[in-house]
């Protein structure tokens, strides 16, 4: 059963220990002070009443580096809300190490495709509450390895396989829309929710509160949350008001 609350999840993208984006348009925040520190950024979003934070490790996704694990650990110890992690988890050892940082959930992409044996082992250890699948999609094809390689695999059959294994949440991103502010591919998230019966977190393309209203209409079929990056960093909506409205169900 779903209620009328859409969970809004800020994304913090980390590269070489720094946040990729800075906050614009918020007079109270000095970008030189806060703009490059992921830990400060996490604290800011917590102050703005975020209930969950999504972290993307760009270095891990692209070169399988673990240089940002200590930063992730510091974030987890600095805020009292759950942290979701994505980027570069390719084997069982990677999964164990990142879980030891204190994250609440990891989103897996490449490992589920290229290293199914280890993925099953990770899933059996941590279960569906701790493991979800990140779907980076372009023209119906799954894109892997930090969105740098085509997998040749259709998301349609792959998501069904994952549900059979026990996965109950997908993070869905049309990568042609991600970070472009060209609008979300809501139909893609809707379709995946319908064919899998699983919960879906939408990611990519969100520009304003009206698009959040559109996504909220999909809560009854399982699209219950949305990851927002650039629009928040560019202050496209007053953050405190955003969460107050989204979580009170006033979008009806």
Residue 14, phi then psi, degrees to nearest 5: -110, 130
d(CA 57, CA 170): 18
Instruction: Write down the pLDDT at residue 30.
Output: 41
Instruction: Write down the pLDDT at residue 94.
Output: 97
Q: Which of 59, 94, 118, 136 is catalytic?
A: 136
157 carries an active-site annotation: no
140 carries an active-site annotation: no
Instruction: Write down the pLDDT at residue 133.
Output: 98
Q: Which of 13, 118, 174, 224 is catalytic?
A: 13
The three state secondary structure string of the chain is CCCCCCEEEEEEEEECCEECCCCCCCCCCCHHHHCCCHHHHHHHHHHCCCCCEEEEEHHHHHHCCCCCHHHHHHHHHHCCCCEEEECCCCCHHHHHHHHCCCCCEEEECHHHHHCHHHHHHHHHHHCCCCEEEEEEEECCEEEECCCCEEEEEEHHHHHHHHHHHCCCEEEEEECCCCCCCCCCCHHHHHHHHHHHCCEEEEECCCCCHHHHHHHHCCHHHCEEEEEECHHHHCCCCCHHHHHHHHHHCCCC
Q: What angle do CA 212, 218, 223 make, to 5 degrees?
A: 85
Token output for 250: 């006033």
> What domains are there in the chain, each with its CATH number?
7-247 (3.20.20.70)
The CA-atom distances, in angstroms, between 236 and each of 175, 230, 231 are 20, 9, 5
Instruction: Write down the pLDDT at residue 247.
Output: 53
Q: 10-residue block means of pLDDT along the chain (252 residues)?
A: 73 90 48 68 90 94 92 97 96 98 97 97 98 95 90 95 98 79 88 98 90 94 94 74 53 36
Please tell me the pTM assigned to this model. Answer: 0.88
């Amino acid at each position: 059963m779903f209620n009328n609350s859409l969970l809004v999840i800020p994304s913090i993208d980390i590269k070489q220990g720094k946040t990729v984006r800075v906050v614009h348009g918020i007079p109270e925040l000095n970008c030189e002070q806060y703009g490059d520190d992921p830990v400060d950024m996490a604290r800011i979003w917590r102050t703005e009443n975020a209930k969950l934070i999504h972290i993307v490790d760009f270095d891990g996704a692209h070169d399988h580096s673990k240089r940002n694990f200590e930063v992730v650990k510091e974030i987890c110890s600095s805020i009292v809300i759950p942290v979701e992690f994505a980027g570069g988890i390719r084997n069982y050892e990677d999964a164990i190490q990142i879980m030891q940082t204190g994250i609440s959930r990891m989103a897996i992409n490449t490992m589920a495709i290229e290293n199914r044996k280890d993925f099953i082992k990770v899933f059996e250890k941590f279960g569906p509450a701790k493991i979800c699948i990140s779907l980076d999609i372009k023209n119906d094809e799954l894109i892997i390895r930090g969105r740098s390689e085509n997998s040749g695999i259709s998301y349609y059959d792959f998501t069904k396989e994952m549900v059979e294994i026990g996965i109950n949440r997908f993070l869905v991103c049309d990568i042609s829309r991600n970070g472009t502010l060209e609008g979300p591919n809501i139909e893609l998230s809707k379709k995946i929710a319908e064919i899998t019966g699983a919960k879906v977190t939408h990611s990519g393309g969100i520009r304003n509160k009206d698009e959040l209203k559109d996504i909220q209409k999909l809560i009854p079929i399982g699209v219950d949350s949305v990851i927002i990056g650039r629009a928040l960093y560019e202050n496209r909506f007053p953050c405190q008001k955003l969460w107050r409205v989204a979580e009170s169900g006033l979008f009806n």
